[in-house]
């Protein structure tokens, strides 16, 4: 077992983790970053990113994350592969173990493990990931201007995604498993009154099809009833809006989370309920979930760490 001590441990990468690494490195804190099961975060499975400032012609998700990672390395961040498997936040210094055999002692911790989009479980979802399948309309909707798309879900998020896409796409199908929308009345009315949104109630997605790119979806209406009907719709984009799972399982013994599992932070800061432990990015943000907001939170967490270490004389 390897043992290592650090003034700041950053758990997770992505825009939040890497940005926190840039700021803490430049503050001579010498952070240790454990990248997690998906180094670079969700942007590494996104093709084109056009809404991140400083890239007027767009940039691929993997390249953007590699650039930010390289910037953190330039300032001396110690970035290592691995997954945190165990934490002890009962006393400081905090104790953390990884699946690569590291035994870490940290004065402060920044949790930036992100949130994973929920998928339907269809094999085709992975096949067409980045080729028509997306879990973020705000991120990828621009690529479907004047095209036909579908959104899966019946809650507020699904309705918000459908409304956003309706201003870009020529036609939007909202695929709803139940015979009603779970969204707020206001959101329901907006969706049902939008001329280019067609709500498909009592409908499940059985599969997706297409040669090189997504071309359509296999649907099943009234599953398991006498009125069951199978049919296909031609679409260019398939957006999942059935929620996200924050990656907080390993921390929940110590860190206060909301009912959905997102880390609770204090006010506009990144402080958690444990002094010296901070959270940044999608793991603590159920509302925005954008690369730029995650990066901003990573900056805030780094500044909070710097002030905390100074106050504690560490």
Residue from 8, 107, 124, 139 carrying the catalytic annotation = 139
Catalytic residue among 8, 107, 124, 140: 140
For the question of residue 159 being annotated catalytic, the response is: no
Q: Give the span between the Cα atoms of 152 and 203, in whole angstroms.
A: 10
3-state helix, strand, coil in the chain (%, to 5): 30, 30, 40
Active site residue 8: no
Backbone angles phi, psi at 135, to 5 degrees: -115, 15
d(CA 259, CA 274): 18
> Catalytic annotation on 136?
yes
Strands (E), the chain: 2-11, 32-34, 48-49, 59-60, 78-80, 84-88, 94-98, 102-111, 115-117, 133-134, 148-152, 171-175, 197-200, 203-209, 216-221, 229-234, 237-240, 244-246, 277-279
> Smallest Cα–Cα separation from 156: which of 173, 168, 131, 174?
174
Rg of the chain taking only CA atoms, in angstroms: 21
| 3 state DSSP class of 255 | coil
What is the token pair recorded at 221?
Answer: 């209406």
Distance CA(223)–CA(177), nearest Å, equals 9
Q: 82 to each of 39, 102, 116, 166, how far by Cα in Å?
A: 9, 9, 17, 41
Cα distances from 219 to residues 4, 19, 55, 149, 235, in angstroms, run: 53, 42, 38, 14, 12
* Residue 97 CB-density burial (10 A; 0-12 exposed, 13-18 middle, 19+ buried): middle
**Per the residue annotation, which of 8, 107, 124, 136 is the catalytic one?**
136
**Residue owning tokens 């730029």:** 292
The residues annotated as belonging to the active site are 136, 139-140
């Amino acid at each position: 077992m390897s043992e290592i001590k650090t003034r700041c441990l950053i758990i997770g990468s992505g825009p939040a983790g890497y940005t926190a690494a840039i700021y803490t490195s430049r503050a001579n804190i010498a952070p240790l970053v454990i990248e997690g099961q998906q180094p670079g975060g969700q942007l590494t499975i996104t093709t084109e990113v056009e809404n991140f400032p400083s890239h007027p012609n767009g940039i691929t998700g993997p390249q953007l994350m590699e650039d930010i990672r390289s910037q953190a390395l330039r300032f001396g961040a110690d970035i290592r592969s691995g997954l945190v498997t165990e934490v002890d936040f009962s006393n400081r210094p905090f104790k953390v173990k990884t699946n690569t055999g590291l035994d870490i002692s940290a004065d402060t911790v920044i949790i930036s493990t992100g949130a994973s989009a929920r998928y339907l479980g269809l094999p085709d979802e992975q096949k067409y990931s980045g080729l028509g399948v997306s879990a973020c309309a705000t991120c990828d909707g621009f690529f479907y201007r004047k095209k036909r798309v579908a959104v899966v879900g019946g809650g507020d998020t699904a309705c918000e995604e459908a409304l956003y896409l309706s201003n870009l796409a020529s036609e939007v199908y909202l695929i709803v498993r139940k015979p009603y929308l779970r969204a707020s009345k206001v959101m329901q009315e907006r969706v049902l009154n939008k001329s280019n949104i067609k709500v498909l109630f009592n409908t499940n997605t059985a599969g997706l099809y297409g040669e090189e790119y997504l071309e359509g979806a296999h649907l099943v209406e009234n599953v398991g009833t006498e009125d069951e009907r199978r049919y296909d719709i031609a679409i260019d984009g398939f957006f999942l809006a059935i929620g996200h799972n924050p990656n907080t399982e390993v921390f929940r013994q110590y860190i206060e989370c909301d009912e959905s599992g997102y880390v609770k932070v204090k006010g506009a800061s990144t402080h958690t309920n444990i002094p010296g432990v901070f959270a940044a990015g999608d793991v603590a943000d159920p509302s925005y979930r954008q690369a730029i907001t995650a990066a901003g939170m990573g900056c805030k967490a780094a500044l909070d760490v710097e002030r905390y270490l100074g106050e504690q004389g560490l």
